[in-house]
Structure 1
Amino acid sequence: MTTEHPEQKTLPATIHWDEDGQPISTQFDDVYFSRQSGLAETRYVFLQHNQLLPRWQQLSDHQHFIIAETGFGTGLNFLCAWQQWLEVCKPTQSLSFISVEKYPLTKTDLEKALKLWPELQPLCEALLRQYPPFFTEGIHRFNFAHGSVQLTLLIGDALEQLPHLALQQGQAGLNNWSVDAWFLDGFAPAKNPKMWQPELFTTIASLSKTGTTLSTFTAAGIVKRGLQAAGFNVEKTKGFGHKRDMLIGHFTNTPSTMPTIPWWQPPPAMFNHSLNKVSTKTTSIEPKKEAIIIGAGLAGASVAYSLAQRGWQVKVLDQHAGPAQAASGNRQGMLYTKLSAHQTPLSQLILAGYQYTTRLLPQLLPSEVHQGKSWDNCGLIQLAFNEQEAKRQEALVESGLFPAQLFEFQTAEQLTAKAGSHIQYPGLWWPTSGWVWPQALCEAMLAHLNITTYYHQQVTSLVLQTGDTEQGWHVTTADQHWQSPHVIIAAGHTCQTLLPDVELPMKAIRGQVSQLPFQGLSPKTVICGDGYISPMVDNVLHVGATFTHDNADSTCTVQDRHENLQRLSQLIPELYERAENTLDPDAINNDKVGFRCSSSDYLPIVGPVPDQPYFIEHYALLRQNGNTTFTTPPPYQPGLWITAAHGSRGLITAPLAGEIIASYLAGEPIPLSTEVLQAIHPSRFLIRGLKRRQI
């Protein structure tokens, strides 16, 4: 197998620096900002001419404002907007900044460019702390200022990436978010003609609303005419510095939404707006920003944290004595990603989740305190331990879909040097991966001031009330009672027992992890094959894990311990020999059994919970013709959500799933493509069953 990646689809910007230390794009032979003063240019062209200061001063206490931009570049526009936002706005208000970038700067180049702006230093440092060493194509989410400022970066061609948001926004019956102000940046039309196309202006219009403003440094006729054709009132005004003209405008049309499939639409924002068996009334009462979450494992803690970051008051209930006591309870969880060369929805989700989690860990578990104790980015090895796995890895490397910084194919000798232990197979080296203590991560998430936890609380009843005074979900345990307009079920393989009138195909898969006392040999990295072993922590090595269907026994077995010990012969033969000679294979007292929750298609289940009887009745014609066209939205259990079936990938997919549900509820862009959102949607099983005439 070749060890070199072919040309990547996502390429970093190539930059040369002029005599004044300013960055110049090699791809476009153009400057990133004015040679006179990039800071003054941004404030004049984008902040002033979108009237941001007076508009922000008029926002209500909990209002949300959305800016979208073409061309992230050095991030200067984002940083300037963020700086002014902090000067004017309250912590209860929130700013979403969406930006698309085809050629993202490397972290080294970005750091060098941002040194030009010392007055932005605190914000620059915050951006650099989260800015990754590499990007993959797609949507990336960053949160700043305790969650009140959000950056959504779309990496790729603007003509390909922005339509993802337009389609998503067209389906956002929950919040119907729209862009409030556009920064049309990017390189000049003469330098970058491929971006400034009619399709771009049409998409910009579809993401706008009546009154949405725009400004751009250019006054090119192609831009003015394109914006006018898309429905913007556009005029010239004085440009910055020596530039004679620039364009400003506002949207005057009613935005057109992209065609959508109704059964993927989330429920509307107002509690009684959804079409369901209880009520079709509407109400003008502003929904409360509060929620109850059932489950304090990775799934529940993640959605609690994402909502709390947005100012929501969250109550978390769990039947155990503390967080992460069930499937999330292992001492070391692996940041294990098994990607596909075919960009399947699962592969896209895993890649997005992996990058989100690796950005989140140093924020929640600072390295100076937690490195090596609660998590460690020590790297991870995926062994090509048989012919099938070797072919899969070869296809990954040759696909050209992934940057070399994500993973690299290495020989057994190279991997041996990485692991510090003899490795007998070649494989993939993941330098930014490692292991995490799930309980520590959950505790850090749940420590947010907006979250209250209640343990030893097994939910016995979940009932929807629709009266004028008692409207919402009533949650009952043995000795307490709560009420909330929103409930998120995140209870692993026990979720099904809590779901009213809906069956989702979830199953529990038993897994046993073996804990071995230190044998004088510990790998420096995580090693994965047909199982895994992690670096020693607390003088213990963790080896696992078994994978058993249709077995609800929670006690450890000698058979499973033998199976785990046998895995060592593949992972680290020398350690297997030592363990075979010194360990009692029947000593199972330190092993641990957990139950992964998985769906029938092995994708997570994330989103609003459908009202199954009415959903089936509503879309019954799909049994006769799977291409039947519908226009009415689907019936949902109003205010009821689920995040479950993360399987053995909870560390990878659960944090991102929390961000997805929070984005739905908060009225924000969702950091995933529509294709992947549909693939993990709870309604997918009902639609699939109707089309196949199985229900």
Structure 2
Amino acid sequence: MAEICTPSDTRHVVLDTCFGTGDAFLHQWQAATRPLHYLAFLAQPISADELLRRHADWPELAGQAHALRAAWPDHVAGFHRLLFDEGRVSLTLMIGTLAGCLSQCVAHVDAFRIDMLAATTMARRLAQLAASQSTLRLSAACPVDALERAGFVFTSALQATYQPRRSSGKTVATGERHAIVLGAGLAGAAICERLAVRGWRVTLLERHAAPAQEASGNLAGIVMPVLSQDDNLASRLSRAAYLFALRRWSGLAQPRFEGERCGVLQLARDADHAAAQARIDRRWNYPASYARWLDSAEATALLGSAAPDGGWLFAQGGWAHPAGVCRAMLAACGTQLTVRYQQAATCLQRVDDAWQVRDADGVLLAQAPTVIFANGNGATRFAQLADLPLQSVRGQVTHVSAPAASAPSLVVCREGYLTPPVQGWRCAGATYDQDVEAGLRWSSQHENLQRVQAMLPGIWPDAFDFPLAGRVGFRCVAPDRLPLVGALPVTAGACRAERLRDVPRWPGLHGLLGYASRGLIWAPLAAELLAAQLNSEPLPLESDLVDALDPARFRLKSLRQSSR
């Protein structure tokens, strides 16, 4: 069980624009007596091996240096949150331009370590991030006029203290740290673990007799990112979520879950699609460990069968057994978590400063100041959430008996996908149906097998004469195909709102919803984001990506349209 951060463990937040090879971070980590969050701008690429070589002369830091090397991310743009010492130490690496990273950072900083570029060009932004009486240290002597105008008072040539002209400071989470989580799928299990390690008491209510019985109940989920020519919001979010998920799944303690980093090969649909993907490859030049474009010859050699248009290889990707992941996350919560199965919550009632969760007979199931909806399509059955624009989409996965000599040993996908053997089956899928039939049906079976046959010609007999086997689940999908993460909006009544922060929210109600078919990669990062919001910690994502996940985005759009 992880060491628990108690409410008195106020996290110390450092922002460093001259991270280099992480020397200052490693020393602060070693000396930390309370939870440490370190925000670091990474100006130049550096390999994990180089990190270790640079720290070889400091044997007292060997443990931290090896842990940092093991967690070191691919050098791709965005924020990368790394967790150490069971979450008591977190490092958020910011990769991009200095101005872009700092403008997207959401934090209250206690101590700055900055270089000349930040001191002379970003002084105002540093002041916006500073908590009252935060300290600042320059890496070298430089002009400080801009910093002084922003409110930093220098006590020596290299050190200053922030003294705001008006009230400022770190917002500390207060009140009872007890949350009710509805739903024991990937979304619910992940937030239970992220809150428990922060010292929260969590009550998990699940209407089934075991975790992962609905959308998270498939034999295998695919772990891979999404790429695009313009590196749009969806691509940036999927990249951050994919890389964070890989680190979280590697870091989970026993019990381990079934899964394999066997690689994912995403084949191009045709020659035009391949040409577009090759342009993405040339424009972004991703590290091969993250995403590597394979031409036809390379893809054919890897696949062992014809791949005339090539494809993307995600070498770190693969598959995992979602129910096993859920069980591992719940086990990591220890005594902070109370799980109550076969509890069908149907309504909420606000009493004083707490929410009471009740069943259809009015029986009180649990009470707490905070309720987190992680129950997919079941969320909109509650009156407070009835108007959220979530859709239930049927997905049938086909199970085919695993022995197939010609089948590949990695995940292959195009319009459909095929996994390596999982518990004796290969999984093919999945349909995207606009109906509510819960049982398996032959038409969906045929559709799945036909997609795999088109992707891997000759893999099945032409007759598709396989027993009807598989599973049906119902995805929870938002109109923009992105999750809903954060405080839930009040959707009734008239109001004026020009920004997300102006949209009224239900006190203490939060959502982790709309994961569609990507719950395995969304769940860890979304849970880390919500836990950071609830604890007033630095956020693990850029602010525009946080806004893209805000559950109030649809309400804001509606309000703007109605005011025209």
Please state if 1:534 is matched with 2:419: yes
1:365 to 1:484, Cα distance in 2 relative to 1, 3 A: same
1:378–1:431 Cα contact (<8 Å) kept: yes
Residue pairs, 1:537-616, within 5 angstroms? 537-549=422-434, 551-577=435-461, 580=462, 584-585=465-466, 587-588=467-468, 590-614=469-493
The CA deviation string for residues 426-450 of structure 1, in whole angstroms up to 9 with x for no partner, is 1111111111111111111111212
1:412 to 1:574, Cα distance in 2 relative to 1, 3 A: farther
The CA deviation string for residues 81-107 of structure 1, in whole angstroms up to 9 with x for no partner, is 11111xx34xxxx22111111213111
Question: How big is the alpha-carbon RMSD for the aligned residues of Structure 1 and Structure 2?
Answer: 2.5
Of 519, 525, 530, 1:656 maps to 525
Distance 2:561 2:370 in 1: 32
Match of 1:42 in 2: none
Q: What is the Cα deviation at residue 489 of structure 1?
A: 0.2
The CA deviation string for residues 566-608 of structure 1, in whole angstroms up to 9 with x for no partner, is 122122223223xx46x634x21x2100111101121211111
Distance 1:269 1:459 in 2: 31
Q: What is the Cα deviation at residue 219 of structure 1?
A: 2.4
1:269–1:287 Cα contact (<8 Å) kept: no
Give the letter aligned to residue 584 of structure 1.
Answer: D
Match of 1:100 in 2: 41
Distance 1:592 1:548 in 2: 14
Match of 1:228 in 2: 148
2:453–2:460 Cα contact (<8 Å) kept: yes
Q: What is the Cα deviation at residue 690 of structure 1?
A: 2.3
Q: What is the Cα deviation at residue 501 of structure 1?
A: 5.7
Of 121, 127, 143, 2:83 maps to 143
| Structure exhibiting the larger radius of gyration computed from Cα positions | 1
Distance 2:530 2:77 in 1: 22
Residue pairs, 1:203-242, within 5 angstroms? 203-220=125-142, 222=143, 224-236=144-156
The CA deviation string for residues 245-298 of structure 1, in whole angstroms up to 9 with x for no partner, is x511101223799xxxxxxxxxx977xxxxxxxxxxxxxxx3111111101111
Match of 2:123 in 1: 201
Match of 2:18 in 1: 71
Give the letter aligned to residue 85 of structure 2.
Answer: A
The CA deviation string for residues 539-592 of structure 1, in whole angstroms up to 9 with x for no partner, is 21111111111x111100011111111122122223223xx46x634x21x210
1:529–1:570 Cα contact (<8 Å) kept: no
Give the letter aligned to residue 78 of structure 1.
Answer: F
1:152–1:671 Cα contact (<8 Å) kept: yes
| TM-score in terms of structure 2 length | 0.92
Give the letter aligned to residue 512 of structure 1.
Answer: Q
User: Match of 1:346, SS?
Assistant: helix
Give the letter aligned to residue 417 of structure 2.
Answer: Y
Distance 1:391 1:690 in 2: 41
Match of 2:225 in 1: 337
Of 265, 290, 298, 1:414 maps to 298
User: Match of 1:648, SS?
Assistant: coil
2:379–2:385 Cα contact (<8 Å) kept: no
Residue pairs, 1:278-677, within 5 angstroms? 286-364=174-252, 370=256, 374-387=258-271, 389-400=273-284, 402-447=286-331, 448-449=333-334, 450-466=336-352, 471-477=353-359, 481-500=365-384, 502-521=386-405, 522-549=407-434, 551-577=435-461, 580=462, 584-585=465-466, 587-588=467-468, 590-614=469-493, 617-619=494-496, 633-677=502-546
Give the letter aligned to residue 143 of structure 1.
Answer: L
Give the letter aligned to residue 200 of structure 1.
Answer: M
The CA deviation string for residues 19-57 of structure 1, in whole angstroms up to 9 with x for no partner, is xxxxxxxxxxxxxxxxxxxxxxxxxxxxxxxxxxxxxxx
Give the letter aligned to residue 691 of structure 1.
Answer: R
Distance 1:387 1:573 in 2: 17
2:397–2:431 Cα contact (<8 Å) kept: yes
Give the letter aligned to residue 523 of structure 1.
Answer: P
Give the letter aligned to residue 113 of structure 2.
Answer: F
User: Match of 1:183, SS?
Assistant: strand
User: Match of 1:678, SS?
Assistant: helix
Distance 1:518 1:453 in 2: 35
Give the letter aligned to residue 86 of structure 2.
Answer: H
Distance 1:523 1:631 in 2: 46
Q: What is the Cα deviation at residue 129 of structure 1?
A: 2.1
1:538 to 1:196, Cα distance in 2 relative to 1, 3 A: closer
Q: What is the Cα deviation at residue 378 of structure 1?
A: 0.8
Match of 1:179 in 2: 109
User: Match of 2:404, SS?
Assistant: coil
User: Match of 1:442, SS?
Assistant: helix
Distance 2:36 2:480 in 1: 36
Q: What is the Cα deviation at residue 126 of structure 1?
A: 2.0
Distance 2:187 2:474 in 1: 14
Matched residues, number: 552
Unaligned runs of 5+ in 1: 1-58, 170-177, 190-194, 237-245, 258-267, 271-285, 623-628
User: Match of 1:575, SS?
Assistant: coil
1:101–1:157 Cα contact (<8 Å) kept: no
1:632 to 1:406, Cα distance in 2 relative to 1, 3 A: closer
Give the letter aligned to residue 460 of structure 1.
Answer: T
User: Match of 1:439, SS?
Assistant: helix
1:207–1:255 Cα contact (<8 Å) kept: no
Distance 1:313 1:435 in 2: 31
Percent identity between matched residues is 32
Q: What is the Cα deviation at residue 392 of structure 1?
A: 3.9
Distance 1:609 1:642 in 2: 6
| TM-score in terms of structure 1 length | 0.75
Distance 1:269 1:497 in 2: 33
User: Match of 2:75, SS?
Assistant: coil
Please state if 1:123 is matched with 2:56: no
1:196 to 1:609, Cα distance in 2 relative to 1, 3 A: closer
User: Match of 2:224, SS?
Assistant: coil
Distance 1:349 1:342 in 2: 13
Distance 2:313 2:97 in 1: 29
